[in-house]
Amino acid sequence: MKRSVAVILFAVFAVCMIVVVLHLYPVGDPRLPGYADFIPAEIPSEEIPRRADSVATYYNRNSARDVGGTCVIASVILDYRGYDTLYEATVLFTAVIACLALIGKDHHHE
């Protein structure tokens, strides 16, 4: 019973993931958000302003107004992506606690 439920759930998730992957743009497609500043020559000039309004260009232009720092990288990792850095620090903390628990010596029982 448990096994069949697991197999059915796995099949459902696998189908969902395959469908999502089939709908993605191919790698290197200029429509991807990361390629905002790369504008191919065959794009007509009236499409360029709309195309440039993507996430990378937005950060470059507006981070000084939104956050206030002049370092765009610091603005992105600490403000726009602040949750990511918070849990990154938490993961580092957990890893160190695990290291100390495994190889550290207990000073209270020396």
Residues binding other proteins (CB under 8 A): 64, 66-71, 73-75, 77-79, 82-83, 85-86, 89-90, 92-93, 96, 99-100, 103-105, 107
Q: Which is nearer to other proteins, 30 or 69 (CB)?
A: 69
In whole angstroms, the minimum distance from the beta carbon of 20 to other proteins comes to: 28
Whichever of 36 and 63 has its CB closer to other proteins, that residue is 63
Question: Which of 42, 36, 85 shows the shortest CA–CA distance to 61?
Answer: 36
Nearest alpha-carbon partner for 58 in 79, 42, 39, 36? 36
Given a contact cutoff of 8 angstroms between Cβ atoms, the answer to whether 30 and 40 are in contact is yes
In the complex, the smallest distance separating the C-beta of residue 91 from other proteins, rounded to whole angstroms, is: 10
Q: What angle do CA 17, 13, 28 make, to 5 degrees?
A: 10
